[in-house]
Structure 1
Amino acid sequence: MLTNTMRQISILASILAFAVVLQSASDLRAQEKETKEDSKKEAAIPTIAEKVEGMQSFDGYFPFYWDAKTGAILMEISQWDREFLYVHSLATGLGSNPVGLDRGQLGDEKVVHFRRIGPKVLLIHRNLRFRAITDNKLERRAVQQSFAMSVIWGGEVVAETDQTVLVDVTDLLVSDMHGVVETLKRNEQGDYSLDDKRSAVYLANCKGFPENTELESTLTFSGSKPGNYVQQTTPTPNAITLRQHHSFIKLPDDKYKPRKYDVRSPSIFITFADYASPLNAELQQRWITRHRLIKKNPDAELSEAEEPIVYYVDAGAPKQIQQALVEGASWWNEAFEAAGFKDAFEVKLLPPDADPLDVRYNVIQWVHRSTRGWSYGGSVIDPRTGEIIKGHVTLGSLRVRQDQLLVQGLQSGPTSAADRSRCACCGIGGIVEDTTLAAMDAESKPLDVALARIRQLSAHEVGHTLGFVHNFAASTYGDRESVMDYPAPRVKITDEGELDLSDAYGVGIGEWDKVSVQFAYSQFDKDESEQLNKILEGAKKQGMLFISDADARPAGAAHPMGNLWDNGSDPIEQLKHVMKVRRIALDRFDPKKLPAGTTQADVAQYFTPLFLHHRYQLNAAGKVLGGSNYHYGYVDHDNQPHSMVDSAKQKAAMAELIAAIEPAQLAISSEVLSAINPRPYSTIRDQEILPTQTGRVFDPLAAARVATDLTLNELFQHQRLARLTVQSRFDKELEVNTMVSSMVNTIWANSLPSQFEGRPEPVQIGRVVREALVEKLVQLVDNPDASLDVRSAATACLTDVATQKNQNAKSSSSELAFCNMLSRRAKQVLERPFSISPENKILRQPPGSPIGSGGE
């Protein structure tokens, strides 16, 4: 009985245990179901309205929201694969010209589009350097698939309503799109990286408009071992904080018609390879950049524009500067009128609430740096067509102060009788007490000249943003025929021997500028190519030469008319004039006439540009040596072969250049030397003043060496001398060995002590000149890029130095010691093993197979 009972109990326990197991399994299934349902709820993407509840909203081309809790910007995207323009720029700058991270600096514009792939959103940069302009979709696809595109950013969908999604773009905004880290590294300013913890959205400048969305962020770059420029401009050098601006811009419609570039025109252009071009046509296509400008009345010779081009001047510039910038930029209206447009170019002050980086404004921005530097004009361009969407000028504020300094140095001498009888403000005759006039002259004249320069600079940089490059030949024909040249101050010499700066800088637009606007902006009903050709041919017939940067800036540039900072049609005569101006200014230089408050150390700041006043005209005269006359053109448009500069003119240029380094020209008076003190302990050495080999004391011999090197660089530029070898085939007088030997012998003879008996300072300078000459010969001998004939000529002259044939037995002990030193220097170079590697003498070969490979 007991056994059965126990058995029954065991069975009952088993049943109960099984029931418990069944219940547990049921509970587990219920829990799993509940968990899955919860997961589905969590995985479901919220609607945009749910996600942005409580956030600040901004309407615009891309609507966006500010999440104050997380510091995020959420952007709405509703149209996929719709192309738009993306531009990054700097809202604030480092303040260092050498580094180049300026306020208002534009980055590259990109044609981009958003693409959704599942939960991801990609920002894709389209490759427009390679195209197929054709209706054939397969042909276009072949090109697109042959070259890479770039995904420049990726994010994830955080909310969605219908076909519109919400994406967090904060990490796009707070990224180094502008390449600050690379810029600092390239300029050896330290190893920096973006610090996310010290970077954030800058909401104050995040705005939306119907056709553009503007967003901004604060970026902090942390690093170690900051460079000198960073230390000079940043309060905590290991933390550089800048603001980066992002513009999302609606692309223009397709009504704009691109205009083909012509090599004879001064237009800036975009370039791309069109693989749909016929085989007998050019693969590379070039379209000019220009603003869209359309006549209201196309049939009228002179018509108003449907929408004028308007530029805005930065109201952050001082009042006097603002007015000068407006006046100078407004000169372009005359050029547009010559192209058939009435009142089509306007200049206004930028509204106080406008952002200079807002794409809706063409801006002339006033930018400060710790040192003076270049101004420049940039543009936001539609890369598809070349249409300019926004012009943006950056003007360095210290330029105007440097111009004042130049004038104050030139006019530091006694006030002329003519000046004393003229109102200093406007030049109108009148009677004013001399003491008052002297004070007015000291303050107003330099400022007037500086403002005249700012007007010209404003017009120049705006010209770049209108789509034009430099024309460095424009100063050589007519009377300042282009604001796109670099102007030197025109300093006249009166009959009384005084310096006159009343016409220092030009006023108004030039004839070449009108040609530039006519080519780029004129509107034609038909025969556009023929009409454009007439414009350029007409300019050529009027003697308007176009020479731009590539033929003017390089040290060995060949065209004698392509010069920076020069004046006049004859560079040799102009050098003579400039040397006279320099001599008068140096002889009249009186530190006591400098502005009140000038320290004795600061006298060097005024004296340095005066002492080197001739430096740019030296370069202009130097290009006559080995010079070639030519122009840009086509073989089927009145092709004109280039020709060498006449040998007599080349020799005349050589003589004037040599005259510039006669020791008497390089001497500095004792009065000036005694007036220049070392810089106070409270100031750092200024890079604007001449270097020294005498510690903190001004060094007249170092000044002479600097000026000498400027001239020798022109006389012995190896590419110019190499051209003489070619030109001697047509004129034996230009044989390079003869020319080099003649220059060396003349310079040496002019700097011997026998020329300056009784005057120790020219004797010392003469030695400086001869040593500089020997070092220049050594450079030529060792230069692997110099031609065989040039190195041979330099070696022959160096051999003459080694033999001391110019040494006079009656020389002083100091002169004998000097000659022995030069002789040893020359012998060391001549007797050492050949220093030029045979590999360095092998000229680069054009690519062989495949023929025409541009990758090399």
Structure 2
Amino acid sequence: MRVRMWLGAVLLVGLSTAFAKREAPPSATDGMTAQTGFIDVHVDAMSARVLVGVHALDAPMLMVTALPGALGSNDVGLDRAQAGEPKLVEFRRLGAKLLLVQRNMKFIADSVVSDEVMSARDAFAESVLWSGDLLNDDPEQGPWLVDMSSLIASDQHGVIDRLASVQQGQYVLDADRSGVLTTAAKSYPDNAEFEALLTFSGSGSGAFVQQAVADAKSITLRQQLSFVRLPDAGFNRRAFHPASGGWSVGGVDFAQPLNRDLDVRWQARFRLQKNDPTAARSTVVKPIVFYLDRGTPEPVRSALLEGARWWTQAFDAAGFIDAFKVELAPAGMDLADVRYNAITWTHRATRGWSYGGGIVDPRSGEIIKGFVNLGSQRVRQDLLIAEGLLAAHAPDADPALQQQALDLALARLRQLAAHEVGHALGFAHNFAASRTGNGSVLDYPHPIITLDGEGRVQLAKPYAIGIGDWDTFVVAHAYSEFAPAQTATALATLRHDIAAQGYRYVSDADARAPGDAHPDGVLWDVGSDPVASFDHLLQVRAAALSRFAAGALPADRQSGELERRLVPIHLLHRYQTEAVARLIGGAEYDYGLGGDATLGTHAVAAPRQHAALQALSRALAVDTLALPASVRAALTPPSTEYSRTPEYFTTQTGPLFDEAAATAAATALVTQFAFAPQRLNRLAWQQSREPMMPSLREVFDVLVASPWREAGRTNMRVRSTRNWVLLDAALNLLAGSQLHATVDAEWRGRLRAFAAELGAMPATNIDAGEGARLIVRYLDAPETVKLRPLPTIPPGAPI
């Protein structure tokens, strides 16, 4: 997961006062411990006060927050070492006060003409973030001295807003239980660092804070506040290209000529300069160095170091020798300090996402600091899945299987480290890379699972080792330097060459929603042929379930945990189901500019769409949905002192495992994607122009009507549960009001005809009769019908 930190692009002109060192009057700082630097720091430990000496007014700098002491909840997101949104600020004098003003970087004029700059600046409001009384008797004779304690001990990270946004209640900052941590105040040549203890009081009613905090009514965090000098000149801005694989920094620039777009963007990247700019290969002036959290245990530590260092290959291929390094952080290093690129091992109450990002110079796109937060519990989920696939804990299992499961988890960690460091280097996700095997660490990889000759699951090489061709491309495109006149042509050649190798680029905006269209932009999918991979995973799933009961649970775990371990195996095909559904109503397209000849979209070919629809019907087969008798017999309620969590299937059967919930969740894997209104809208238009495409009628018939027509006396409850989920999903689609009017009308017509078909079935078919009555009642008087909510699917990602 990539976190984007951007402020815009601007040419900062005028209004700066020279950074001249001045001596503060002794009376104002008498008895305080002093440090000189970018901002002078004076500390009074007894009164918990920090005075700062500002050497220049109207001089822009970055203000950034971080959380060295965090909340610990994945769902809330206030993580250890989490960086806040950077702000471009400056100190200004207003009479006897010193103001801290945030510049408005959404709209600027990047011009050498000061009047143009000011016309844009004056047109949009700035924000005064804080003010303090000047303590100098004569500010002209020394630094502008001000007590900044109240700013340091305020909620600059936005903790209160974040807690409210995730429905954890209303909190207020308790000043009596908050204050500046004076020992953490530091001044360096290019940055100043401050820290405060912040206590927020509230009702404590939110489930997430109750789960993570000692007392949810009193949340105490540590906030770091950094002031950072903007980098000096000498960095070459690189215009952002949509097919670059990078992320952009930019804003609205009113200084652009009339025939140019006001939306100006630069590619985010580190400053990386060769010692010999004329050489194809050269050492560098200053390598990019990332430091790994010393709190990372073995064998995780070694895996993360190895995986993150894979990027050395890409920089070397681009001609930069020893340009990228990853080292264990020295003892005492503050990973939140903006001087260090950091990889933090982050503990939370539950498993959760990892992310990478950067703090960026708004004038140029230069990355000042890269940061990575790696959630510590997700590797345990990988281990759990591997143990379930291999039945590694069966009494007769080969002891090597447990090591094989651990090897998978560590292999995934190597991939994860490389992935998140890639974001910190300025690169975005490419969810299409899985179509080319080991295409990129910037994709979300699914493990490669095979079956041996006896039908047993094998995880010999679950993840690729090293970076892929796409990763080599993004480094070359972002960091290679060319003569100014040759840059555009050279970069275009790089983009052409990677496309010629069969690589496409699909990122987050086109990959995360259930109704997305691009068939290649899928998370956690596997292989170049979605349908073939789907069928293979169903075979793997069946093999794993056949041995699951006897071998998935370690001997030292409470017996009820077997149900929790069942979830990812029963839903093993969840991500590939989305990949298959994406073909239906799918369309291919590329990112680019008007001159790239990449315009237009191309619908997925009709045979592929029909094959995908039939594959989804196989996911709904009773034999697919029904659990083996051995699994049903082994499932046990959670032991005393333990309880189900959201990682389990829901239950309406008291303490016992609810097979209906497991069936419903597996059925909903199909409906959540196949019945996305955007997909059906697209499909209707595609079929109107190309009659060979699947029609709405065919989708309804295959995924709703045909299952209801099935007869059989085995697994009757599984069949009935599936059918009701399908019908509920078909009706809920109408309640959402997102279908085109013509599609809505056709869908209603399908339902009404189906109601007549159900009504004509024998009276002994109780489900059919009730289904017919429900459809008619809802179509005729929807306000009289309360539709059932769609099933809850336990969380899958991240893996």
| TM-score bracket for this pair, using the shorter chain length | over 0.9
State the shift of 1:780 in Å: 2.2
**Structure with greater helix percent:** 1
Pair 1:518-2:470 in alignment = no
State the shift of 1:739 in Å: 2.1
Offset from partner CA, 1:704-763 (integer Å, 9 cap, x none): 0110011122222221111122212332133634323432466325x63x3x33x2xx21
Of 696, 704, 709, 2:655 maps to 696
Corresponding residue for residue 5 of structure 2: none
Q: Distance in 2 between matches of 1:338 and 1:308?
A: 15
State the shift of 1:640 in Å: 4.7
Offset from partner CA, 1:305-327 (integer Å, 9 cap, x none): 11000000001010211111110
Unaligned runs of 5+ in 1: 1-45, 416-433, 837-856
SS at match of 2:536: helix
Unaligned runs of 5+ in 2: 1-22, 786-799
Q: Distance in 1 between matches of 2:71 and 2:267?
A: 33
Of 767, 774, 778, 1:825 maps to 774
Offset from partner CA, 1:127-160 (integer Å, 9 cap, x none): 2222222221211121111111211111011235
Q: Is the 8 A contact 1:566 1:620 kept in 2?
A: yes
Corresponding residue for residue 82 of structure 2: 105
Q: Distance in 1 between matches of 2:680 and 2:520?
A: 18
Pair 1:339-2:288 in alignment = no
Corresponding residue for residue 638 of structure 1: 597
Q: Is the 8 A contact 2:246 2:478 kept in 1?
A: yes
Corresponding residue for residue 713 of structure 1: 672
State the shift of 1:835 in Å: 9.5
Corresponding residue for residue 588 of structure 1: 547
State the shift of 1:496 in Å: 3.0
Aligned partner letter, 2:32: M
Corresponding residue for residue 474 of structure 1: 433
SS at match of 1:366: strand
Corresponding residue for residue 523 of structure 2: 564
Offset from partner CA, 1:545-564 (integer Å, 9 cap, x none): 00111111111111111100
Q: Distance in 1 between matches of 2:471 and 2:602?
A: 27
Offset from partner CA, 1:37-95 (integer Å, 9 cap, x none): xxxxxxxxx96312222222223321211113321001111222222211111111111
Of 257, 271, 278, 1:299 maps to 278
Corresponding residue for residue 53 of structure 1: 30
More displaced, 500-509 or 61-70?
Answer: 61-70
| Residues 87-126 of structure 1 mapped to structure 2, 5 A cutoff | 87-126=64-103
Of 225, 232, 252, 1:273 maps to 252
Pair 1:552-2:511 in alignment = yes
| Residues 753-832 of structure 1 mapped to structure 2, 5 A cutoff | 754=711, 756-757=712-713, 759=714, 762-805=715-758, 808-809=761-762, 813=764, 816-832=765-781
Aligned partner letter, 1:517: V
Of 667, 677, 691, 1:732 maps to 691
* Higher-RCO chain (CA-CA 8 Å, sequence separation at least 6): 2
State the shift of 1:638 in Å: 2.5
| Residues 256-655 of structure 1 mapped to structure 2, 5 A cutoff | 256-412=235-391, 438-442=398-402, 444-477=403-436, 479-526=437-484, 527-592=486-551, 594-655=553-614
Aligned partner letter, 2:51: L
Q: Is the 8 A contact 2:754 2:772 kept in 1?
A: yes
| Residues 215-294 of structure 1 mapped to structure 2, 5 A cutoff | 215-294=194-273
Identity of aligned residues (%): 39
RMSD: 2.0
Q: Distance in 2 between matches of 1:667 and 1:119?
A: 76
Q: Distance in 2 between matches of 1:583 and 1:833?
A: 41
Q: Distance in 2 between matches of 1:593 and 1:454?
A: 22
Q: Distance in 2 between matches of 1:68 and 1:205?
A: 11
Aligned partner letter, 2:222: R
Q: Distance in 1 between matches of 2:737 and 2:86?
A: 40
More displaced, 688-697 or 304-313?
Answer: 688-697
Q: CA 1:401–1:374 in structure 2 vs 1: closer, same or farther (change >3 Å)?
A: same
Q: Distance in 2 between matches of 1:79 and 1:835?
A: 69
State the shift of 1:220 in Å: 0.3
Of 39, 47, 50, 1:73 maps to 50
Corresponding residue for residue 150 of structure 1: 127
Q: Is the 8 A contact 1:104 1:365 kept in 2?
A: yes
SS at match of 2:725: helix
State the shift of 1:654 in Å: 0.3
More displaced, 486-495 or 323-332?
Answer: 486-495
Offset from partner CA, 1:655-687 (integer Å, 9 cap, x none): 011111111111112321221211123123211
Corresponding residue for residue 419 of structure 1: none
Aligned partner letter, 2:426: G
Corresponding residue for residue 165 of structure 2: 186
Q: Distance in 2 between matches of 1:335 and 1:567?
A: 24
SS at match of 2:698: helix
Q: Distance in 1 between matches of 2:667 and 2:641?
A: 32
TM-score, normalization by structure 2: 0.92
Of 668, 672, 676, 2:627 maps to 668
Corresponding residue for residue 24 of structure 1: none
Q: CA 1:741–1:440 in structure 2 vs 1: closer, same or farther (change >3 Å)?
A: closer
Q: CA 1:60–1:739 in structure 2 vs 1: closer, same or farther (change >3 Å)?
A: same
Q: Distance in 2 between matches of 1:729 and 1:231?
A: 53
Q: Is the 8 A contact 2:558 2:639 kept in 1?
A: no
Of 106, 119, 129, 1:129 maps to 106
More displaced, 459-468 or 500-509?
Answer: 500-509
Count residues with an aligned counterpart.
Answer: 760
Q: Distance in 1 between matches of 2:137 and 2:357?
A: 39
TM-score, normalization by structure 1: 0.86
More displaced, 646-655 or 49-58?
Answer: 49-58
Offset from partner CA, 1:567-616 (integer Å, 9 cap, x none): 11111111111111111111121335532212220101211110000000
Q: Is the 8 A contact 2:681 2:740 kept in 1?
A: yes
Q: Is the 8 A contact 1:88 1:107 kept in 2?
A: yes
Q: Is the 8 A contact 1:375 1:396 kept in 2?
A: yes
State the shift of 1:823 in Å: 1.9
SS at match of 2:516: coil
More displaced, 128-137 or 688-697?
Answer: 128-137
Q: Distance in 1 between matches of 2:30 and 2:538?
A: 75
State the shift of 1:808 in Å: 4.6
SS at match of 2:26: helix
Q: CA 1:775–1:47 in structure 2 vs 1: closer, same or farther (change >3 Å)?
A: closer
State the shift of 1:399 in Å: 0.7
Q: Is the 8 A contact 2:109 2:254 kept in 1?
A: yes
SS at match of 2:584: coil
Aligned partner letter, 1:263: P
Q: CA 1:169–1:741 in structure 2 vs 1: closer, same or farther (change >3 Å)?
A: closer
SS at match of 1:734: coil
Q: Is the 8 A contact 1:721 1:736 kept in 2?
A: no
Q: Is the 8 A contact 1:88 1:247 kept in 2?
A: yes
Q: Which has the larger radius of gyration?
A: 1
Q: Is the 8 A contact 1:736 1:793 kept in 2?
A: no
Q: CA 1:323–1:204 in structure 2 vs 1: closer, same or farther (change >3 Å)?
A: farther
Q: CA 1:807–1:573 in structure 2 vs 1: closer, same or farther (change >3 Å)?
A: farther
- Tell me which stretches of 4 or more aligned residues in structure 1 moved more than 6 Å: none
Pair 1:164-2:123 in alignment = no
